Amino acid sequence: MSNSLSLFSPFTLRDATFRNRSFVSPMCQYSAKGDGVPHDWHFVHLGQFAVGGAGLVMTEATAVTPEGRLSFGDTGLWNDDQASAWKRITRFIRDQGALSGVQLVHAGRKGSTTPPWEGEIHMPVEIGGWETVGPSEIAFGALPAPRALDENGIRSVVSDFRDAARRALEADFDVIELHAAHGYLVHQFLSPISNARVDSYGGTFEGRVKFLLEVVDAIREVWPDNRPLFVRVSATDWVDGGWNLDDTVAASILLREHGVDLVDCSSGGTVDNALIPKGPGYQVPFARAIKQRSGIATGAVGFITDPRQANEIIVEEWADAVFLGRELLRQPHWPLLAAVELSESFEWPVQYKTSQPRRSSEAG
């Protein structure tokens, strides 16, 4: 344990230095109006976290192709108009002293659904949906079975990730995070529950991680060496016979060798009825185990709400950063308030600093 570490210690990966270790977890907004272009909602939603003191502001899951969306309201990076719109947001985030990250995703068999407030039900092609794809023709829950990708289809998706990473650079993001968790396409290849292939992309551990490593390599081809690359993983499927922590540790060692800088440690998403023992910090042990056993930097997630809880994770070196989601929706200025509670020195935005009124009539 290093006594110099705290939640507000700067954190450097490659040439990126995060002002603190409070990171914004990707949170889908389903608000892109169907064209994948972020607009004022995303500007305000993400900008508030930069003003509030976060070290890294991560976008929602951002699709690399229209067919890779979860819903018609997802943001994207499959065309230049989207990249241009994102650049306005990354510029503002940087101006507030934070760094920006984009989470790239292909939803695979879990795509073409309505937003949560409309029930997350399948949208057939006839009413604006799209055909979903996956490693195998195995359905998720009540959703239709996807079309199994052939090797040409796999190469096309890898290329989509490469192109999206290039546009992420044009949009001037500081970090890319590959979404390989929560039962989306990359995770579908990893888990034996959703991958029943008998070719080189299935069967053994080496076969099931092949697609993941090809996507990572494709992103690194266009993503500069001086900018960090993260991967979000589901450390376990929470069911027997699924992807598990030992698999994740082994994959994390490979990810480090392929140029990944941090593993963002979540879990679940492959089956819709897994029994997950949720509670405060319930996923932190995954981040700790992966960090200790693979030697890669990790991010901890999962009901992290209290500043002292978050600080302990960093001080004890269980993870290198904490990702907060719902708590930041409740308190967008959580990092600033955490600094006060932890007696850390941290500058509030000059616009928020109190000053004495010039005249008594100006008080209030």
Residue-by-residue DSSP string for 99-167: EEEEEEE--GGG-SB--GGGT--B--GGGT----EESSS---TTSPPPEEP-HHHHHHHHHHHHHHHHH
9, 19 Cβ separation under 8 angstroms: no
DSSP helix/strand/coil, 221 = helix
The CA R_g of the chain, rounded to the nearest whole Å, is: 20
Q: Which domains does the chain have, with CATH numbers?
A: 11-362 (3.20.20.70)
Name 53's Cβ contacts closer than 8 Å, sequence gap at least 6. Answer: 20, 22, 98, 333, 334, 335, 336, 339, 346, 348
Residue 185's nearest CA partner among 176, 196, 194 is: 194
19, 319 Cβ separation under 8 angstroms: no
Q: How big is the CA angle at 53 (ends 265 and 44), to the nearest 5 degrees?
A: 90
How many CA atoms lie within 13 Å of 43's alpha carbon, on the beta-carbon side? 12
d(CA 35, CA 76): 8
Q: Which amino acid is at 246?
A: D
Among candidate residues 184, 201, 282, 352, the one labeled active-site is: 184
Q: Which amino acid is at 189?
A: F
Residue 69's nearest CA partner among 77, 80, 59, 81 is: 77
For tokens 């690399």, the residue is 64
List for the chain the helix, strand, coil content (%; round to 5). 35, 15, 45
| pLDDT tens digit at each of 364 positions of the chain | 445 899 999 999 999 999 999 999 999 999 998 799 999 999 999 999 999 999 999 999 999 999 999 999 999 999 999 999 999 999 999 999 999 999 999 999 999 999 999 999 999 999 989 999 999 999 999 999 999 999 999 999 999 999 999 999 999 999 999 999 999 999 999 999 999 999 999 999 999 999 999 999 999 999 999 999 999 999 999 999 999 999 999 999 999 999 999 999 999 999 999 999 999 999 999 999 999 999 999 999 999 999 999 999 999 999 999 999 999 999 999 999 999 999 988 878 888 766 434 444 444 4
Residue 354: the pLDDT is 64
Residue 114 has phi, psi (to 5 degrees) of: -80, 160
For tokens 């005249």, the residue is 359
Quick check: is 184 catalytic? yes
Residue 286's nearest CA partner among 322, 319, 333 is: 319
Residue 349: the pLDDT is 83
Q: Which amino acid is at 363?
A: A
Q: Is 61 exposed, middle or buried (0-12, 13-18, 19+ CB in 10 A)?
A: buried
Q: Where are the alpha helices (DSSP H) in the chain?
A: 40-51, 80-95, 151-170, 185-190, 205-208, 210-222, 245-257, 284-294, 307-315, 326-330, 334-341
d(CA 1, CA 13): 20
Residue 357: the pLDDT is 44
Residue 361: the pLDDT is 43
232, 103 Cβ separation under 8 angstroms: yes
